[in-house]
Structure 1
Amino acid sequence: MAPLMKSKQETIFSSKTLTYFLQLAETMNYTQAAQILGITQPALTQQIKKLERTVGAPLFYSVGKKLRLSEAGNTMLAATHDIYEVLNQATDEIQQSTSAESGEINIGLLASVEYSVFEDFAIQYYKENPDVVINFHMLTRKEIWDRLENNRIDLAIMYLPDDSIKNWKPYRAKKITNEDLLFIHTNDKLANRKKIRLKDTLTNVWATYPREYYLDQVIRENYKNAMVDLPKAVARFTTPDQIYQFSAETDAYTALPNSYIVSKGLTGNMHAAQFEPAIKFDLAFVFRKDKDEIPRVGRLLEAFDQYLADKDYITRLTQIHNAKYGVDHTKGAED
């Protein structure tokens, strides 16, 4: 018997076609999308043209050097998101019937977040729930949202608000704590100041986060809103440890979350102060709606609530620091 020809639906929804389309729709750049996908640009172009022939309309068009989604492309993008949403909901419904005492929980942790409290919680949680496997993934903000979208992580631990995310409808946020961004320096003339104006932080070069990292964008936005020049960055690192070490060795200014300073302490002649005006944001769990209905995920969130109810976030950080270093030499800025 002759094999059946593939239907239009089978052609459109092949394993790779939608992945290629989504990546190009996100980057709007064939070269960049092909690099991310690990294929050649001609191969990507061929797949997109094949999809366009199948649906009978162009999905993209160019304005000068810029790529744009056509009306058909926007329809296809919305449909693709709907497909993934249905699949994610089906996965969640299946998992909601599983046990609270066993299974895996995947947590995406923003790489710039101080992780010691979550590490301590995971140790305690394992002792009480040895059959639940917690997998922590240190991720960039983009990686977190990609994995949330594709249901590859159950929970994200990240900073909010995040204006780069346009579609919050499928997600919920659960606040963990409020964060202060602190100005870190070795300038003796500023040593006794608990608050420092933005314009006074420009007398030296900076070490900071990579461009497009959440905290780099927070810094840029606050300086722009205050109509103050941006700090001159001479080094950029992905983790607070790297930033702090560079600043300590070179006397470069920087900015780090208060939680990091409470957890690690200040060494040598390093000083911390609040910005004026203050730069604040939240640390929060982010997850797809109904994800907390999965027994093991809901139980973990409840256990974390109790963990912080027993001792608040900053107290936990301070105790972890003191246990590690034996003395309390934290010098975080006072409120």
Structure 2
Amino acid sequence: MPKTDTILSTKSLHYFLQLIDTMNYTQAAQILGITQPALTQQIKKIEHAIGTPLFGQMGKKLYLTEAGKQLQTGAIKLLGTINSVVNDIQEFTQADKGNISIGVLDSVSSELLRKFLIRFNQQSPDITINVCYFNRKDLWYNLDNNLIDFGLFYVPANIKKSQVNLHNQYEYMQICEDRLTVLTHDHELEAGKAYSFSKFMDKKWVAYPDNFYLTQLMKEKFGSKINAKNGMKVPLSFSSTEQLVETAEETSYDTFVSSSYYQLHKSEINLTPVYIEGTPEYSVSIIYRKGKIDVPRIKSILTELKKFLDE
């Protein structure tokens, strides 16, 4: 008996399934671009390999035998698996196809990223991009577990001290330098100027939740405790920057955002933007696991992003 691994090839199974679609040797052969005798011979080889007929005939009409039905089910699964594997390989090796998953820190202003993704989509329409927003803990979890391809983070200027293992496990690309910006109701303060921390001691704040990076920067100034007697007074907090600013404008409370967010939305904001002296510097950066750059589509999007930022 001929070996099934030489007879049951992807080509022969494709011929078999095409004959099932038409139940007509002549039509199937025409669709496949081969002669009818060649198709007949291929089907007979399969039947000989498995030892039983796949098709029966009633008058001029073909029908599938029970063995044929079983082989049909197996052939569909097998070819589906092969096609899936090939697609996965092509997605890994091709720069213009596949999926890219991006995680964004929920307090980061991602308008620049959004504008870039529109352009990138026009250049590479066969790449599907999914953007999700996370708090810092969940963003790191998704990055660590390879659930996203890269993340958009706030990165402290002293990155080597604050992220000890970053250079061992990850690469990063700076998007822009950023700065904590206070939005105040105090019109005696001049926009764009930096003031001593003492100017802000007695103010009440609308703030991000306690675990957000910008809130942690403020806590470094006020001390670790929020709403303590001598700490930072935060009657209201929101994870949404838009809600943060709107609430500050509708109350007497001050707030703080990233400079990049303010620059993008300053025409909509009526509060005065100022800075606190000595606030640590940071940047908005793309962070990705080492090795991700070897995936062509990841290399392609990061290369195009750098061009976009240079422009």
TM-score, scaled relative to structure 2: 0.64
Alignment partner, residue 118 of structure 1: 113
Alignment partner, residue 254 of structure 1: 255
For residue 154 of structure 1, the aligned residue among 145, 149, 161 is 149
Deviations 1:51-97 (A, max 9, x none): xxxxxxxxxxxxxxxxxxxxxxxxxxxxxxxxxxxxxxxxxx97885
Q: Secondary structure at the match of 2:108?
A: coil
Counterparts of residues 1-335 of structure 1 (less than 5 Å): 97-161=92-156, 167-168=165-166, 169-191=168-190, 194-224=193-223, 229-267=230-268, 269-310=270-311
The alpha-carbon distance between structure 1 residues 142 and 278, as it changes in their structure 2 partners (threshold 3 A), is closer
- Provide the aligned length of Structure 1 versus Structure 2: 216
Whole-angstrom distance in 2 between the partners of 1:222 and 1:234:
18
Counterpart amino acid of residue 179 in structure 2: D
The alpha-carbon distance between structure 1 residues 182 and 192, as it changes in their structure 2 partners (threshold 3 A), is closer
Whole-angstrom distance in 2 between the partners of 1:223 and 1:155:
33
Q: Is the 8 A contact 1:110 1:157 kept in 2?
A: yes
Whole-angstrom distance in 1 between the partners of 2:190 and 2:142:
43
Deviation of 1:164 after TM superposition, in Å, equals 6.9
Q: Secondary structure at the match of 2:93?
A: coil
Q: Is the 8 A contact 1:201 1:231 kept in 2?
A: no
Deviations 1:110-156 (A, max 9, x none): 11011111110010100110001111011111111111111100010
Counterpart amino acid of residue 153 in structure 1: I
Cα RMSD of the aligned pairs, angstroms, is 2.4
Identity value in percent: 27
Gaps of 5+ in 2: 1-87, 225-229
The alpha-carbon distance between structure 1 residues 292 and 193, as it changes in their structure 2 partners (threshold 3 A), is closer
The alpha-carbon distance between structure 1 residues 96 and 124, as it changes in their structure 2 partners (threshold 3 A), is closer
Q: Is the 8 A contact 2:173 2:286 kept in 1?
A: yes
Whole-angstrom distance in 1 between the partners of 2:92 and 2:192:
56
Q: Is the 8 A contact 2:172 2:285 kept in 1?
A: yes
Whole-angstrom distance in 1 between the partners of 2:246 and 2:195:
22
Deviation of 1:195 after TM superposition, in Å, equals 1.7
Q: Is the 8 A contact 2:217 2:279 kept in 1?
A: no
Which is higher, the Rg of structure 1 or of structure 2? 2
Alignment partner, residue 51 of structure 1: none
Counterpart amino acid of residue 209 in structure 2: P
Q: Is the 8 A contact 1:201 1:253 kept in 2?
A: no
TM-score, scaled relative to structure 1: 0.60
Deviation of 1:190 after TM superposition, in Å, equals 2.1
Q: Is the 8 A contact 2:92 2:98 kept in 1?
A: no
Deviation of 1:266 after TM superposition, in Å, equals 5.0
Ranges of 4+ aligned residues in structure 1 off by more than 3 Å: 93-97, 162-167, 222-225, 266-269
Deviation of 1:208 after TM superposition, in Å, equals 0.6
Counterpart amino acid of residue 280 in structure 1: E
Gaps of 5+ in 1: 1-92, 311-335
Whole-angstrom distance in 1 between the partners of 2:204 and 2:129:
40
